[in-house]
Amino acid sequence: MLRLIARRLAFAPLTLLLVSFVCFLVLRVTGNPVDIYLDINRTPEQVAALTERLHLDRPLLIQYLIYLRDVAQGNFGDSLQYGGPAIDAVLTAIGPTVQLLTVALSLAVVLGVIGGLIAAIQRDKLADAILSSLAVTGQSMPSFWLGILLIQFFALKLQWLPTSGRGEWRHVVLPAITLATILLPNFLLVTRAAIIDLMSEQFVVTARAKGLSPLHILMRHLFPNALNPLLSFLGIQVGTLMAGSIITESIFAWPGLGRLMVSAVFHRDAPVVLAAVFFVSLTIVLASLIVDILQGVVDPRIRQ
């Protein structure tokens, strides 16, 4: 297991370097930071001083190496919008995003797996048809459109839940449902396909021949063997969930990392964008590592 973790950790810095370099390059070549920091009344002396302070008079690769040196010291630069260190704005937004992702992912995994198990057991019956149809409908529905519908019905018409913001538990209901529907249909269909694929295996036929109950076969033989493809799918979908949180947080004015990134991009707040992308990349890398470890626990062959 330690060798597996070491192999995965060896690739993590390379991934972070590639993501940070692409993001740094895009922000540098799409606009001069001096034009953003200084207004039209700037003097040549101010331009020269800021150019030197931001190291813009040096080659791009040297600028990137200086940026990496500062990041290693925890310095992502000062935010243009908030006037303080960019890392402070990002750290403030991480908590709400983690809360939203945790609730949404829990809903998607629990409901998706349960729905997939029911659909597989009731294959080609009414329950399977209803659940599969709902899953395909969920896959076809854009999350931003569903979020607007939920606001219209539950917040504006019934007035059961707030339209936006963050505070008590009621504020997280609509954003979490909106975000969960991005993954829930996929979890349902993947679980259904994995269970149905295992039903024809010899060990399942043997268990049936021994007279074991369908529930016992499902929980002791089918579901444990279906965990590996489910974990693989979960690892792939972490990035999708992070991308979906950007749209969901913008719709519901949720003060998280996704909404902060959108605001920073519109205001050309490069330090906040770079810091936010770094932490999003780090989260995806760590989530993939956790999934790999769980796969190694479930299937010993992966640890080889």
Give the model's pLDDT for residue 174.
94
Is residue 8's pLDDT more than 80? no
Give tens-digit pLDDT for 248-274: 998 999 999 989 988 888 888 888 988
- Residue 63's identity, in one-letter code, is Q
Average pLDDT for the chain: 86
Q: pLDDT-derived band of residue 304, with 50, 70 and 90 as boundaries?
A: low
Choice among 107-121, 176-190, 201-215 with the minimum mean pLDDT: 201-215
Query: Which runs of E-coded beta strand occur in the chain?
Result: none
Mean pLDDT of 108-125: 91
**pLDDT digits 0-9 by tens, 71-102:** 888 888 888 778 788 899 999 999 999 999 99
How far apart are the C-alpha atoms of 232 and 287, rounded to whole Å?
11
What's the pLDDT score for residue 111? 94
4-8, 99-103, 114-118: lowest mean pLDDT where? 4-8
Q: And the tokens for 144?
A: 């931003």
